[in-house]
Amino acid sequence: MRGVVTSIRLPRLSPDRVDRVRARLARELGDSKVVADAASLEANAGDESDQEPILPDVVVRAENAEDVAAALRVAAELEVPITPRAAGSGKSGGAVPVAGGIVLATIGMNRIVDIDRAEHVVVVEPGVVLGDLHRAVEAEGLFYPPDANSLAWCAIGGNVGENAAGPRALKYGATRDWLLGLDVALVGGEATFVGRRTKKGVTGYDVAALLCGSEGTLAVTTRVVLRLIPKPERVVTMMATFADVHAAGRAVMAALGSGIVPRCIELLDARTLDAVRARGVAVDEGARAMLITEVDGGEDDAMESAGRVGSRFDDAGALAVLVAQDASQRDRLWEARRQLSPATRAMARHKISEDVVVPRTKVPALLDEVDRISEAIGVSMLTYGHAGDGNLHVNFLWDDDDHEPRVEAGLDRLFRAVLTLGGTLSGEHGVGTSKAPWLRLEQGDLLVDLQRRLKAVFDPKGLLNPGKIFDESARSGTKGHRAC
């Protein structure tokens, strides 16, 4: 296994420098926006990943683009690390301030600035919560498809940073597919707009696309311009159950061959179904796998599409195919799906959830390999996620602290298998610190070094969100797991 370490090796600021940084920030931004009390530092130390939380030295609560620029100016002048953060819902350690220093919190910048009904464009600040954005545009008959499962609290700034996706990515793609432009501030405090506000545009490099998914390592977003479409008239939600996960895997391929593009096909394996049952959703005890599938479209054609996909499930051997009869049935099903991450966390003292992707024809092969890994390392595993995209959350669950080396070995084997199957390490959660030791394995030295050089163009001193994506030593290992 490559360079996996269990402690953070990046140097911290001396107490003198911390005092100087806090004083300077307070002078530039005002005392109320610069906080360093224990509760604030703790609240900005971790994210939703398995990575060990690290306390920053100071938190800037930005209220506008000028605050963001001022914090980035101070960081450059005093040469201190600065880690941008929106809601902190990330799952790869991207918002963990691994070198301490400044956390630049943009969650307070939460205005929906403009919903342009004629142009089908929305302009928002980075702290807008995804679910609030959905409600606001849907009230205007418009639709923003990306639907990260943490939509009740994740924020657009983080969605852009990680190129967040979600179940509906199968039909509609991820955040980058909806991003038109960004107002950003650079290390040093200069500000600019990248991208465009129009539907089309090809001038220069696509810098907005580059920044989307750069995990806050290149620039800090202060405003986001997103594309919208008309809200689909009708959504049909289906729940198909199967005798085993392999039958469900085959049914995914059958549905994708139906000529219909469902907006999502979510797979839940047997252990995941136990977690769903434990959350009070009635699922037939004989079912060992489930597909939650949605199609959308016009009033008439959505029902017809659902029929076609449903009959593919029947042909593939579904035990039952049920259609949600009303909004409350549909909401209950989705509530259970969206709660899988906390529900599975409650199943053991320690959990790692990966978000690997394989070509979707290889989903059954991946599921077989997960079984083999689980048996080989003697650690319980479960799998659920966006099977239509080949993007699966493979979870390791264990109670015994001494099992950490086994889990590390299992992770390494999982990642190697995914790459052998022609896949990629992350479909939506990013590299952060958690997958950095394996990036070269996927991308090779040339591409990783090219990206490091690109990073140096934006941030020559490596101050912005240090330790992420490329730094193999910043991973906290599985020891950093919070016990539940």
DSSP assignment of 216-278 equals: TSS-EEEEEEEE-EEPPSEEEEEEEEESSHHHHHHHHHHHHTTS---SEEEEE-HHHHHHHHH
Scan for tokens 């040093």, then name that residue.
Answer: 188
3-class DSSP state of 182 = strand
- 129-158 positions binding ligand MLT, by CB under 6 A: 149
In this structure, the strands spanning 264-268 and 380-386 are: antiparallel
Q: 362-401 in b/e burial notation, b at 16+ Cβ within 10 A?
A: bbbebbebbeebbeebebbbbbbbbbbbbbbbbbbbbeee
Nearest approach, Cβ of residue 439 and ligand MLT (Å): 19
CB closer to ligand MLT out of 374 and 391: 391
CB closer to ligand MLT out of 76 and 133: 133
Nearest approach, Cβ of residue 427 and ligand MLT (Å): 9
Nearest approach, Cβ of residue 149 and ligand MLT (Å): 4
Nearest approach, Cβ of residue 233 and ligand MLT (Å): 26
| Position among 24, 73, 91, 360 found at the interface with ligand MLT (CB under 6 A) | 91
What would the two tokens of residue 35 be? 């906080």
C-alpha closest to that of 464 among 28, 61, 33, 97: 97
Give whole-number Cα distances, 119 to 124, 139, 230, 262, 341, in Å.
Answer: 15, 16, 11, 26, 36
What would the two tokens of residue 53 be? 């939380």
* 78 in Cβ contact with 40 (< 8 Å): no
CB closer to ligand MLT out of 207 and 273: 273
- Strand partners for 185: 191, 220
Size of the site for ligand MLT (CB under 6 A): 9
Backbone angle region of 195, left / alpha / beta, with phi > 0 → left and psi within -120 to 50 → alpha: left
Nearest approach, Cβ of residue 81 and ligand MLT (Å): 27
Whole-angstrom distance, CA of residue 45 vs CA of residue 42? 5
- 228-267 positions binding ligand MLT, by CB under 6 A: none
456 sits in which H/E element: helix 439-458
Q: 135-155 in b/e burial notation, b at 16+ Cβ within 10 A?
A: ebbeeeebbbbbbbbbbeebb
| Position among 49, 110, 272, 341 found at the interface with ligand MLT (CB under 6 A) | 341
Nearest approach, Cβ of residue 269 and ligand MLT (Å): 13
3-class DSSP state of 13 = coil
In this structure, the strands spanning 102-105 and 82-85 are: parallel
Cα dihedral: 435, 436, 437, 438 (round 10):
60
- 264-283 positions binding ligand MLT, by CB under 6 A: none
CB closer to ligand MLT out of 151 and 212: 151
| Position among 340, 352, 363, 370 found at the interface with ligand MLT (CB under 6 A) | 340
- 376-435 positions binding ligand MLT, by CB under 6 A: 385, 393, 428
Nearest approach, Cβ of residue 332 and ligand MLT (Å): 16
CB closer to ligand MLT out of 396 and 470: 396
353 sits in which H/E element: strand 350-353
**Interior angle at CA 238, CA 232 and CA 239, nearest 5:** 150
CB closer to ligand MLT out of 220 and 394: 394
CB closer to ligand MLT out of 81 and 93: 93
Nearest approach, Cβ of residue 250 and ligand MLT (Å): 22
What would the two tokens of residue 142 be? 């418009």
Nearest approach, Cβ of residue 400 and ligand MLT (Å): 22
CB closer to ligand MLT out of 144 and 334: 334
What would the two tokens of residue 200 be? 């089309």
Nearest approach, Cβ of residue 100 and ligand MLT (Å): 27
3-class DSSP state of 302 = helix
Is position 163 an interface residue for ligand MLT (rule: CB under 6 A)?
no
Nearest approach, Cβ of residue 340 and ligand MLT (Å): 5
Nearest approach, Cβ of residue 147 and ligand MLT (Å): 10
CB closer to ligand MLT out of 29 and 348: 348
CB closer to ligand MLT out of 149 and 163: 149
Nearest approach, Cβ of residue 52 and ligand MLT (Å): 18
In total, the chain counts a number of residues equal to 484
CB closer to ligand MLT out of 44 and 49: 49
CB closer to ligand MLT out of 102 and 292: 292
| Position among 83, 293, 353, 476 found at the interface with ligand MLT (CB under 6 A) | 353
From the CA atom positions of the chain, what is the Rg in Å?
A: 22
CB closer to ligand MLT out of 109 and 356: 356
Residues in contact with ligand MLT by the rule CB under 6 A? 91, 149, 340-341, 353, 355, 385, 393, 428
